[in-house]
Amino acid sequence: MRQIAHYLDAVVIVAAQPISDGVAQETERALQDHELIKVKFAIEDREARWSAAKSLAESCNAEVVHKIGKVAVLYRANPQANSKLSNISRYS
């Protein structure tokens, strides 16, 4: 999954903590469409970024599969994902 995510652009940007409902809804929509997404956190503190990533993943029933710097990769399987949009199905 890290290899697939390497070429993705961040589709959600989180500017502050706590995570707002709008950010959670946009993340939910992105996961439904793509299954694997990058989220960029504009939070300076490393621990606060990690906490925000875990919180966002939990709110969307997703998993944090990778994190590096200010970017986290979230994954949530969707058996009915649109194959034209799903990142996983493109590389399977």
CATH number of 2-91: 3.30.110.60
DSSP string, 21-74: HHHHHHHHHHHHHHSEEEEEE--S-HHHHHHHHHHHHHHTT-EEEEEETTEEEE
Query: What proportion of the chain, given as a percentage, has pLDDT over 90?
Result: 62
Domain residue spans in the chain?
2-91
pTM value is: 0.85
Query: pLDDT per residue over 3-33, tens digit each?
Result: 888 888 999 999 877 888 999 999 999 999 8
